[in-house]
Structure 1
Amino acid sequence: MGYVESAPPDGLRDAVACLWRSTVTGERTGDAMPILPDGCVDLIWQSGRGAFLAGPDTGPVADTGPVTNAGPGGRHVVVGVRLRAGAGGTVLGMPLTPLQNLRPDLADLGLRAELPGELAPGEALRRLVTLTGRLVEERPADQVMLAAARLLRDPGLRVPELGDRLGVSDRQLRRRFGAAVGYGPKTLQRVYRFRRFLSMAGQGSLAELAVRAGYTDQAHLTRETAEFAGMTPGELVRRRRPGREPAAPPGPG
């Protein structure tokens, strides 16, 4: 499997984290690495299927599965536009909480686009970018929610302080945040901590990595890894390989 990211067009960088492409060869098995939470939602096209929305995830989600008309050797291609955490609900024009851990077709969400599964991958990505541009023009990303998501990357930030930092009431923050992200600020902060651990996996003992990532101890890491990945930290480190699954980077976004 090959996975590569590229920068979005300049006009979309406020709302879009990256464009990406993944090529999968061979049959998928029950052992395949699941997609793990990253705080983002993605507009995706898959050869043989068409276009759908991914996320927001609160736990491991099985990969999109085999396709009926994959190329030689079972090869198929997936391309996507990853919306920044805090941008999704506003840009898509719908609250994201009801879409947790789902992969609905774009047509079922009322997002009109000609994206059949028979397209060439490059053309499919071009059409996804065009669709995203139209959505962003109609409903620009909520700047307050984008700022909230950025602030939550700070492991030292206390969530009750977030509203004061942004100049909005706690009640308004939680309502807008849930609609824009798909879950509350505390959950996103936990997802970011989990992604920090993933970014450091293999660079020390699990006890060391737990503290460096911001967990209280290794037991805390183990509990949250079970929730977000469905496995122990040790198993996750063994099974995860570079490029194995599309992952939002732990850096600024």
Structure 2
Amino acid sequence: MPHPPSVVTADLVETFELAPESLRPWLTELARMPTVLALSEPLAQIPQAATTIVLSAEHDGPRDALVVGPQTKATYWRPNKPAGCVRLRLAPGAIRSLLGVHAAELTDRTMRLEDLPGPAADLSAELIELAPEEVLPYLEDELPRRIADDPAQRDHRHLLAAAVASISADQPVPVPELAARLSVSERQLRNLFASGIGISPKHFARIDRVRKVLSHAGTIPWAELAAANGYYDQSHMSADFRTLMGVPPTMFFRGRLPAPTPCRPLTKLT
């Protein structure tokens, strides 16, 4: 069943640009969300396993640079004024070197970039003044000279990249088998995910599967979609979808969404 017109997700209205090779140690992509006007139905923000720097701009209003940590469940909101943004997705394992904190400290939280202790905070004032097409060239000039590529952090990034690729593959690997393939213990793997991504490997896999269900719904029957994404059966898929999205898939794709909620308040590190 395809997305009905009433279901609008941020992913559907964004355009994406892969980060250039020089920025791949820290960024995976730049996404642009055009100015969103008043909507009759809530805008769905589906779960996201990445930490994101959001350069927001209200229409003819103030600009801000925010850090949005991994979002473990969907949120629904209705814009009350025209606004657009640029989103910089951070690479797994890059959060510590860019933001100066472990990724788990950011999970389900939103903070101002300038309030974080990492070197990226010093770029906040410049970033919010740039046009979207100027952001990546600016970062290509600034990040390599501000951030030393520590060998240990580089090894962690490579290990996390391999783990993420395996979990996101068409035939995902169970966590115990994945740890064995990567020659680390399950505990080490969980610690790497907590510090470098902000969620456990199991929760990363759950988010990845629900995102695949959202992108492929309507192409094959529900039962086949469940089997193709590693669920035990259709009821398992429906229960997992409901936990992360707030409603079962049949309700979601009929446009019967949870009530919109206010944006999360900004927080600071304690």
Bin for the TM-score computed over the shorter chain: 0.7 to 0.9
Partner of 2:17: 6
Deviates more, 1:128-137 or 1:99-108: 128-137
Name the stretch that deviates more: 131-140 or 222-231.
131-140
2:102 aligned partner: 95
Worse overlay, 161-170 or 90-99: 90-99
- Alignment of 1:45 onto 2:55: yes
Residue in structure 2 matched with residue 23 of structure 1 by the alignment:
34
- For residues 65 and 49 of structure 1, do their structure 2 counterparts lie closer, same or farther at Cα, with a shift above 3 Å needed? farther
- Return the offset for 1:100: 1.4
Percent sequence identity is: 27
Contact 2:36 2:79 in 1 (8 A): no
- Contact 1:40/1:88, CA 8 A, preserved across alignment: no
Are the counterparts in 2 of residues 50 and 116 from structure 1 also a CA contact under 8 Å? no
**Secondary structure at 2:110's aligned position in 1?**
coil
Cα RMSD after superposing both structures: 2.9
- Pick from 70, 89, 101 the counterpart of residue 56 of structure 1: 70
Matched, 1:191 2:230: no
Query: Which runs of 5 or more structure 1 residues have no equivalent in the other structure?
Result: 67-73, 241-253
Question: Which of 23, 30, 43 in structure 2 is aligned with 1:33?
Answer: 43
- Contact in 2 for aligned 1:77/1:121 (Cα 8 Å): no
Is the CA contact 1:193–1:213 (under 8 Å) kept in the aligned structure 2? yes
Supply the AA of the counterpart residue of 1:233: P
**Superposed, which structure 2 residues align to 1:106-117 within 5 Å?**
106-110=113-117, 111-115=121-125
Q: Which stretches in structure 2 are left out of the alignment for 5+ residues?
A: 1-9, 257-270
Instruction: Name the SS for the 2:44 alignment partner.
Output: coil
Q: TM-score, normalised by structure 1?
A: 0.78
CA contact (8 A) 2:55 2:65 kept: yes
Q: Secondary structure of the equivalent of 2:53? A: strand
> Retained in 1: the 8 A contact 2:99–2:116?
no
C-alpha distance in 2, partners of 1:117/1:89? 19
Label 1:95 to 1:135 Cα distance change in 2 as closer, same or farther (>3 A).
Answer: farther
C-alpha change, 1:99 and 1:65, in structure 2 (3 Å) is farther
| Amino acid across the alignment from 1:203 | T
Partner of 2:182: 166
Superposition map of 1:80-91 within 5 A: 80-89=87-96, 91=98
SS at match of 1:34: strand
Q: In structure 2, what is the Cα distance between the partners aligned to 1:119 and 1:24?
A: 17
CA offsets per residue over residues 64-90 of structure 1, 9 Å max, x none? 955xxxxxxx43220021123444345
CA distance in 2, matches of 1:134, 1:215: 45
Tell me the secondary structure at the aligned position of residue 123 of structure 2.
coil
CA contact (8 A) 2:30 2:88 kept: yes
Q: CA deviation at 1:37?
A: 1.7
> Which whole-Å deviations, capped at 9, do the CAs of 1:4-26 have from their partners, x for residues lacking one?
11121220124422111111332
Residue-pair matches, total: 232
Structure 1 equivalent of residue 230 of structure 2: 214
* SS of equivalent residue, structure 1 residue 52: strand
Larger deviation: 164-173 or 180-189? Answer: 164-173
Note the C-alpha offset of 1:128: 6.0
